[in-house]
Amino acid sequence: MPRLSVWFIRCSFIYLFLGFTLGGIILANKGYPFAPWVWSLLPAHMEFLLLGWMVQLTMGVAFWILPRFRSGPPRGNIDLVWSAFVILNTGIVMVAVQPFISMTWLTQTGRILETISVLLFVFALWQRVKAIEV
Ligand code: HEM
C-alpha cells in the first residue's frame, strides 16, 4: 500500500473514533441535558464522519487500488494527491472548530477547501479510472 494511502486511511480511522465519540456525547446530552454547549459539537460530528471518515477512507483506498500507469509514475501526480490530503484535513478542522471561535468565515473557507481537495483528487486520478482487459 502506498504511504499516502496509509495516511488517508489512518486519519479516517481517527476521525471515525472522534466522530462516534462526539455523536455519543451529543446523544447523551439529548437524553440527559447536562451542557447546552454540547450542541456546538454537531458540526464537528458531521464533518468528522462524512468527510473525515467516509470520504477520506474512499480516497485512500482509491489512490491505492485504481489501475496504475504502465509508463511514468505508476500512480500519477502524487504531489497533487498529497495536496488534496492536506487541504481536505485543513478544511475539516476549520469547519469543526468554528462554533468555538467566533470567526464565521472559517466554515465557508473550510468548505471551499474541502471542495478544492475533492476536485484536485478527481483531477489527479481521472486517468486511472479505466477498463483493463483480462
Ligand atoms: C458514519 C456514521 C455517522 C454519520 C455519517 C453521522 C452523521 C450525522 C449527521 C449528518 C447528523 C445531522 C443530522 C441532522 O442535522 O438532521 C447527525 C446527527 C447526530 N448524530 Fe450522527 N452520524 C453517524 C454516527 C453517529 C453515532 C454512532 C452516534 C451516536 C453514538 C450519532 C449521534 C448523533 C446525534 C445525537 C445527532 C443529533 C441528532 C439530532 O439533531 O437530534 N451519530 N449525524
> Which protein residue's CA is at the shortest distance from atom 33 of ligand 1?
23
What whole-number distance in Å separates Cα of residue 115 and Cα of residue 55? 12
Q: Give pLDDT, residue 83.
A: 98
Our answer on whether the CB atom of 23 is closer than 6 Å to any ligand 1 atom is yes
Substitution candidate for ligand 1 out of 49, 50, 56, 58 with most atoms within 8 A of CB? 49
The tens-digit pLDDT sequence of the chain (134 residues) is 999 999 999 999 999 999 999 999 999 999 999 999 999 999 999 999 999 999 999 999 999 999 999 999 999 999 999 999 999 999 999 999 999 998 999 999 999 999 999 999 999 999 999 987 76
Our answer on whether the CB atom of 17 is closer than 6 Å to any ligand 1 atom is no
Q: Give pLDDT, residue 132.
A: 79
Nine-digit cell string for 74: 505508476
> Which protein residue's CA is at the shortest distance from atom 7 of ligand 1?
46
Residues 11, 16, 18: CA angle, nearest 5 degrees = 95
> Count of residues for the chain?
134
pTM above threshold 0.75: yes
> Which protein residue's CA is at the shortest distance from atom 3 of ligand 1?
49
